[in-house]
Structure 1
Amino acid sequence: LSAISLLFDAVHVVAAAVQELNRSQSVGATPLSCKSSKIWEHGTSLMNYLRMVELEGLTGHIEFNSKGQRSNYILRIMQNSREGLRQIGQWHSEQGLSMERKLPSVNMTDTLFNTTLTITTILENPYVMLRHNHHELEGNERYEGFCVDMLKELADILKFKYRIRLVGDGVYGVPGANGTWTGMVGELISRKADLAVAGLTITAEREKVIDFSKPFMTLGISIMYRVHLGRRPGYFSFLDPFSPGVWLFMLLAYLAVSCVLFLVARLTPYEWYNPDPCPRGRCSMLINQYSLGNSFWFPVGGFMQQGSAIAPRALSTRCVSGVWWAFTLIIISSYTANLAAFLTVQRMEVPIESVDDLADQTAIEYGTMHGGSTMTFFQNSRYQTYQRMWNFMHSKQPSVFVKSTEEGIARVLNSNYAYLLESTMNEYYRQRNCNLTQIGGLLDTKGYGIGMPVGSVYRDEFDLAILKLQEDNRLEILKRKWWDGGRCPKEGDHRAKGLGMENIGGIFVVLVCGLLAAILIAVLEFAWMLRRTPRTQSACEEMLRELQGILLCRDSLQLRRRQGAGGPRPRPLSLEDRRSRAAAVSLSNGKLCAGTGLSVAVSEPLPHRLATEAAMVARGCSHVRICPECRRFQGLRARPSPDPSEDSVEWDKTTNSSEPE
């Protein structure tokens, strides 16, 4: 209308200028050629008369300045309302803008006031879903979801009514071979619907045939795949930080170090020492603390970082101990560093980690929803990787395209299949199914918008309303309402959690087995001692008697053995006897030579004491030997004792009696 008015006024201005020119001179038509440099002789005069024209036209006052530009004019600002067009202000070329009334706010617009709009949508979690009791409801009450709540918010702002109707063919919309569109886009083109409110992606191809509002959600294409978890933590998961091969080599290393330590300690002369040297240079027997049992116990104490009462004396044994301690330091540190991760984290094994890995293999099938924007993205992409993926999907038989997101997720869970879908949908389903995961990042960036027919008069109102919802954080609140609440933990939640018995229960099993083994060995040792000791009662009675004494804190059976079974309680040992027992124990570093029954008293004369020690050597005590300076007693020989009940040995001295004792 404004263009026609301007054209009408322009014709009147030209006519007025020609009339004024014709009054001063005769104006005639002269044939001219575009190739000729000759101009119309009255052209300059006509331009001057045009600048002098001044009249009132349909568009207001008409006047031109010296440059031929219109000046001193007014533009009226009109508003379309239910009563028709009404002026709300004006704009003067010299004075500027002048408003007669304020612009109405968005929630008071009259464009959509009391208007009923037809909304086309598609069932897609969590955007539009049917209520569980939708059979009992009617109209819009049958539906729920993010888009349904957003429609309620928009209707409250713009004061309109709406009627939700599902799309007939159940697709979003793709162009056909004859130029027609399917799905919600097709219904907007054919004016069967006023709005399309769903997870409808804004694309350039759709923008050519329909209009979109500002995006109400930003997203991208992602890859959904099923979770491949390794072995879940079990009772013996504390063994997981090391592989079975490492545990085996650690056992072999322990055995090798124990054997080498025993061999080196026997070879070096500096590990043989006198535990109770004679005063004034008098010599006695030499012992070696690295017996076979001690050689196997010393590495255990170092490995468990508890130490041992055995201290290496020679440089060779210290070298073996040093390298073993360094070995255990690295092993224990590595084990401790990895133990927490293996007890608290279930490792996920994923054969693909990015879209490039997916494109470079053929063992895992992948596809998209048929007729969706993701399918169009790969179809029109010029990126080499995405072109290769489209060729694979398009030529794969049976088809890798699915009809709905639910079908794609079911195919992911039940087969070796990766599903390409929007990141918001991926996040929603991953929150509700812990067997799903996202591979890599986003392939692109795009948004969801409200679709409407081309040239819709409601576009500006919906743009302003969506911006208002974003500024008020209403859209973020709605997203949290429909996305959160799944039973799966968030991927970014790394808070420490308590360990249960399923994580460390195996160490309790090891502890109980060790205690039971110790009790069994103690019983076997007790039975072995009873076999070598004369007794009047059975083994079971002896064991019960010993257990009764333990519970009542009585003296041990070994202390009563010398008085006979059932005899009176022996008197306490004298100070001299205790010294004799202490000397006997110290000679073998806590273990007296088995079966000798000999004890060495410190207060005994030296010849008798050395003779007793020589008897210990003769009876097989491999960790006791006579020092080289005492070889003058090599002539000592054993003579049977007249009393067979006494465990003693008498010796004949064959050396020179004149030698000092």
Structure 2
Amino acid sequence: RMWTDCCLRSLSSALMYDAVHAVVAAVQELNRSQNVGVTQLSCKSSKIWEHGTSLMNYLRMVELEGLTGHIEFNSKGQRANYALRVMQSTKDGLRQIGQWHSDLGLSMERKLHSPNATDTLRNATLTVTTILENPYVMLRRNHQELDGNERYEGFCVDMLRELADILKFNYRIRLVGDGVYGVPGANGTWTGMVGELISRKADLAVAGLTITAEREKVIDFSKPFMTLGISILYRVHLARRPGYFSFLDPFSPGVWLFMLLAYLAVSCVLFLVARLTPYEWYNPHPCQRGRCNLVINQYSLGNSFWFPVGGFMQQGSAIAPRALSTRCVSGVWWAFTLIIISSYTANLAAFLTVQRMEVPIESVDDLADQTAIEYGTMHGGSTMTFFQNSRYQTYQRMWNYMHSKQPSVFVKSTEEGIARVLNSNYAYLLESTMNEYYRQRNCNLTQIGGLLDTKGYGIGMPLGSVYRDEFDLAILKLQEDNRLEILKRKWWEGGKCPKEEDHRAKGLGMENIGGIFVVLVCGLLVAIFMAVLEFAWMLRHSHGTELSMCEEMLQELRGIVTCQDSLQLRRRRCPGGLRARPLLPEDPGRARAAAMAAVSLSNGMVCGAGAPEPLSHRLAQEAALVARGCGHVRICPECRRFQGLRARVAGAAGASPVHSEGSFEWEKAIDVSEPE
């Protein structure tokens, strides 16, 4: 710029010199043709100089060689028939590389000479100002033991080394005095690295220096070596860790409650409808119609509650509705369970495999519309300048908040902003590259929303620097060779946190589905407990046993382990858990008398009429009926292949069962000829 100003001043002096010579030559010619006198004129008077027109005509005829070349004017009084030389500045001075003529135009004598590192930067030592900022410029761990440039490391240090290898220059790194990037002051002066470039205390500013229009007015920037934008850094708010009962999450507690109420309602309605309709009452043994006046209803209270469970679990049951009303209830329940199970299955995968984050803000608009979360940026940086000069309404509102907030929400360094984010309810506004760097090294940080703007980092130089084009070419070469991308991966990656873009499915652990194992174990324990209660209930209502409950249970378990299906075990498996007591030999008359009366069997069936009798009497009647050959006696209604009873006198083979005085032993008699 100084050289340009000097050239302009020299050109102005030369033009003034030639103009005076042209006027003198015209006046001399005018004086030869006529006597030119001097007349006093007033600016307020309309009187003109009488020789003015003649002087203008003689000026158009002037031809001479001046400092600016050939001087000649056309009829309009404009300079004509002149030429300009095209010069190039080199290390040896100015040299002509072409000529421009007013009539012929431009004619180049030789190709434009491209300056290279040999011309300007070879063996030159440049002062580089920078600022400590991770990961651009950092002090080595043993920096106190090192000297000079070896004390520093980082992305910008490696990039500066690559540029020095290309352009063949030397450099000396020096930290900026006030520790800021640079903002204009009230009196027009600049602080930070920008101020050092303006005062020419440094030749280069290599750091995360953002290219802005305001800075571009006072310093020069190279082409951007990194593209970025302003982003929001906030701490991670994870949802609660998945518990053992995470499989319940697809439905809300209210839905689970209504499903339970629906199950109870359907069970009660099914029981009521099945009892009302006559088509659910039927004879289980139609082949014995007339001999046994028995009708049953399969929808007992227990079966009414079990049937909806089988439909809900998509397993069904052995109970099949017969009447139209019960089938209607069953169909509606099945349709209900189809939708419920499908919805549950669709949502179960997402709730078990995806850990959703609970973030109170999701965008910059959410941040600007609330006051519970404080937010700010680095003082004296380009981000603060961006909000200060922005004309966007949301950003203006954010700047008014940050500017007026007390205590101040501005921080002096990025490390201070990160610490404030982690230790308080604070959101930090910074460049996206810095955001990515710190998120890779602290899993408690996350980025909110996208980028607020788009800008770039460039190398700062004093205004009019002769090195600008050379650094532009060198940066382009590094980008084409992917050297800048390699350096970025070197200093950004390597953190302990996984990439946020990695959403591949991962295996479920016990913390996700462990609850269903708890349910399974609890169900098994409840079943064992209920079996013990049933066993105890059976023993309490049975007669003729001399063993205690523990001995009976141990004997039962011993038979189960040894796979011995004893006669005693078979008798225990009859409905109701009742044992058959042997008919005592000293009471044969009672059995004959009971056999002649109406019979009420121990399994609940009724043959003929008669009032119910005690259990011991029923057993005696059944024994007598067996002895008389009553073939329709049933022990277990569910065991339909058990066709009857046979009596056998213990220890008296071939004796007549009617007249035997011995005790009876019960055994199964299977008649495969009768349909089941």
Matching of residues 255-334 of structure 1 within 5 Å: 255-278=264-287, 285-334=294-343
* CA separation of 1:592 and 1:34: change in aligned 2, threshold 3 A: farther
3-state SS in 1 of match to 2:108: strand
Residue among 129, 141, 158 paired with 1:149 = 158
* CA separation of 1:103 and 1:517: change in aligned 2, threshold 3 A: farther
Residue among 102, 106, 114 paired with 1:104 = 114
Shift, 1:135, TM fit? 2.4
Does the Cα contact within 8 Å between 1:258 and 1:295 map onto a contact in 2?
Answer: yes
Deviations 1:129-174 (A, max 9, x none): 1122322322112212222222223323333221111111211223
Matching of residues 32-431 of structure 1 within 5 Å: 46=55, 49-63=58-72, 70=79, 73-92=82-101, 94=104, 96-104=106-114, 107-108=116-117, 110-278=119-287, 285-431=294-440
Residue number in structure 2 paired with 1:481: 490
Shift, 1:650, TM fit? 5.5
Does the Cα contact within 8 Å between 1:527 and 1:539 map onto a contact in 2?
Answer: no
Alpha-carbon distance in 2 for matches of 1:199, 1:364: 28
Deviations 1:30-78 (A, max 9, x none): 6666677776665555555555544444444455556555555544333
Alpha-carbon distance in 1 for matches of 2:347, 2:255: 14
Does the Cα contact within 8 Å between 1:63 and 1:71 map onto a contact in 2?
Answer: yes
Alpha-carbon distance in 1 for matches of 2:338, 2:463: 75
Residue number in structure 2 paired with 1:547: 560
Structure 1 residues without counterparts, runs of 5 or longer = 565-584, 586-590, 599-610, 652-661
* CA separation of 1:23 and 1:321: change in aligned 2, threshold 3 A: farther
Deviates more, 1:270-279 or 1:161-170: 270-279
Q: Which amino acid aligns with 2:374?
A: E
Q: Which amino acid aligns with 1:421?
A: L
Deviations 1:460-493 (A, max 9, x none): 3334433444444443443333223333233333
Does the Cα contact within 8 Å between 1:222 and 1:439 map onto a contact in 2?
Answer: yes
Backbone CA RMSD of aligned residues: 3.8
Alpha-carbon distance in 1 for matches of 2:500, 2:358: 15
Shift, 1:274, TM fit? 3.0
* CA separation of 1:29 and 1:229: change in aligned 2, threshold 3 A: farther
Matching of residues 572-651 of structure 1 within 5 Å: 592=575, 595=578, 615=600, 621=604, 633-634=608-609, 647-648=622-623
Matching of residues 515-554 of structure 1 within 5 Å: 515-522=524-531, 524-525=533-534, 532=542, 538-539=551-552, 541-550=554-563
3-state SS in 2 of match to 1:258: helix
Q: Which amino acid aligns with 1:539?
A: E
3-state SS in 2 of match to 1:124: coil
Q: Which amino acid aligns with 1:112?
A: L
Q: Which amino acid aligns with 1:549?
A: T
Alpha-carbon distance in 2 for matches of 1:88, 1:290: 111
Deviates more, 1:125-134 or 1:470-479: 470-479
Q: Which amino acid aligns with 2:106?
A: G
Q: Which amino acid aligns with 1:615?
A: S
Does the Cα contact within 8 Å between 1:218 and 1:445 map onto a contact in 2?
Answer: yes
Alpha-carbon distance in 1 for matches of 2:118, 2:418: 43
* CA separation of 1:48 and 1:314: change in aligned 2, threshold 3 A: farther
Alpha-carbon distance in 1 for matches of 2:132, 2:355: 36
Query: Which structure has the higher relative contact order (CA within 8 Å, separation 6+)?
Result: 1
1:453 corresponds to 2:462: yes
Does the Cα contact within 8 Å between 2:580 and 2:619 map onto a contact in 1?
Answer: no
* CA separation of 1:397 and 1:19: change in aligned 2, threshold 3 A: same
* CA separation of 1:502 and 1:612: change in aligned 2, threshold 3 A: farther
Q: Which amino acid aligns with 1:264?
A: V
Deviations 1:268-317 (A, max 9, x none): 11211234424899985322221222212211111111222222222222
Shift, 1:232, TM fit? 1.6
Alpha-carbon distance in 2 for matches of 1:643, 1:212: 110
Alpha-carbon distance in 2 for matches of 1:295, 1:488: 55
Alpha-carbon distance in 2 for matches of 1:440, 1:39: 77
Alpha-carbon distance in 2 for matches of 1:559, 1:293: 28
Alpha-carbon distance in 1 for matches of 2:37, 2:282: 144
1:494 corresponds to 2:507: no
Matching of residues 5-16 of structure 1 within 5 Å: 5-16=14-25
Deviations 1:186-214 (A, max 9, x none): 22232221222212223344334333333
Does the Cα contact within 8 Å between 2:599 and 2:610 map onto a contact in 1?
Answer: no
Alpha-carbon distance in 2 for matches of 1:137, 1:170: 22
* CA separation of 1:642 and 1:333: change in aligned 2, threshold 3 A: closer
Number of equivalenced pairs? 598
Residue number in structure 2 paired with 1:578: none
Deviations 1:215-235 (A, max 9, x none): 333333222211111112233
Alpha-carbon distance in 2 for matches of 1:22, 1:49: 10
Overall identity of the aligned pairs, in %: 81
Deviates more, 1:143-152 or 1:120-129: 143-152
Does the Cα contact within 8 Å between 1:277 and 1:284 map onto a contact in 2?
Answer: no
Matching of residues 430-449 of structure 1 within 5 Å: 430-449=439-458
Alpha-carbon distance in 2 for matches of 1:640, 1:342: 57
* CA separation of 1:160 and 1:52: change in aligned 2, threshold 3 A: farther
Deviations 1:416-469 (A, max 9, x none): 111122222222212222211222333333332322333333333334433444
Deviations 1:244-272 (A, max 9, x none): 33323322322232222122211211211
3-state SS in 1 of match to 2:600: helix
Deviates more, 1:417-426 or 1:206-215: 206-215
Alpha-carbon distance in 2 for matches of 1:175, 1:317: 86
Alpha-carbon distance in 1 for matches of 2:264, 2:560: 36
Alpha-carbon distance in 1 for matches of 2:404, 2:113: 57
Alpha-carbon distance in 2 for matches of 1:417, 1:451: 32
Shift, 1:644, TM fit? 5.9
Does the Cα contact within 8 Å between 1:278 and 1:284 map onto a contact in 2?
Answer: no
Does the Cα contact within 8 Å between 2:239 and 2:357 map onto a contact in 1?
Answer: yes
Deviations 1:545-587 (A, max 9, x none): 323333xxxx52457656x9xxxxxxxxxxxxxxxxxxxx9xx
Alpha-carbon distance in 2 for matches of 1:491, 1:469: 29
Alpha-carbon distance in 2 for matches of 1:7, 1:119: 44
Deviations 1:67-114 (A, max 9, x none): 555555544333333322233444455263424245326x54522232
* CA separation of 1:401 and 1:297: change in aligned 2, threshold 3 A: same
* CA separation of 1:173 and 1:620: change in aligned 2, threshold 3 A: same
Shift, 1:539, TM fit? 2.6
3-state SS in 2 of match to 1:285: coil
Alpha-carbon distance in 2 for matches of 1:596, 1:613: 22
Alpha-carbon distance in 2 for matches of 1:263, 1:254: 14
Q: Which amino acid aligns with 2:113?
A: L
Residue number in structure 2 paired with 1:567: none
Q: Which amino acid aligns with 2:341?
A: I
Q: Which amino acid aligns with 1:448?
A: Y
